[in-house]
Amino acid sequence: MALWRSWSKMTSSPDKKELGLDALVPLFRQRFAEGGRVRFGPKGVSMLPMIRQGIDTVELGPLPEKLRKFDLPLYQRRDGHYVLHRIVRVADTYTCIGDNQFQPEKGLTHDQMIGVVTAFYRGEKRWEADHWGYKLYCRVWHYTRFPRKCWRGLRARVLRLFGK
């Protein structure tokens, strides 16, 4: 999800503590080196409708040697922010974009990548990243980006003209 600044422990206590991803990323890398995975709840709306803040969680695993189109990596931008966006183009660098966004982020390198989503949880239901339904969702959502952008613009204009 775009612009992660922190990750909160999943508790319902009133003294909920926020841990910055800067503190957690070294632990993630250590866990990946041991062959493990990590699960956490991302913040933000850039990956809607797939990942809903406060409801869904993702499971990250270690990076493969080369990421592929439609992989969902956690990476760190040059400005220090952590982001979870889908890869839509692979060349010498990667181009990523959130499912709920229309402006791609180009020129991302493999060194910026931290881990890749291996599964996600819609509530308590687990979906593997290699499930055929998830793969179909990725393609449909990607290839309908332009019509969705047109629809969003048209809808905004109509609402401006006629009010809500």
Q: pLDDT digits over 83-137, tens only? A: 999 999 999 999 999 999 999 999 999 999 999 999 999 988 999 999 999 999 9
Domain parsing of the chain, residue ranges: 6-162
Give the closest residue to 99 by CA, choosing from 81, 80, 77, 117: 117
Q: pTM of the full predicted structure?
A: 0.82
- Cβ neighbourhood burial of 96 (10 Å; 0-12, 13-18, 19+): buried
CATH number of 6-162: 2.10.109.10
* Averaged pLDDT, 54-68: 95
In contact, 45 and 36? CB cutoff 8 Å: no
Across 32-61, average pLDDT: 93
CB-CB contact of 39 with 59 (8 Å): yes
- Residue 86's pLDDT is what? 97
How much of the chain exceeds pLDDT 70, in percent? 88
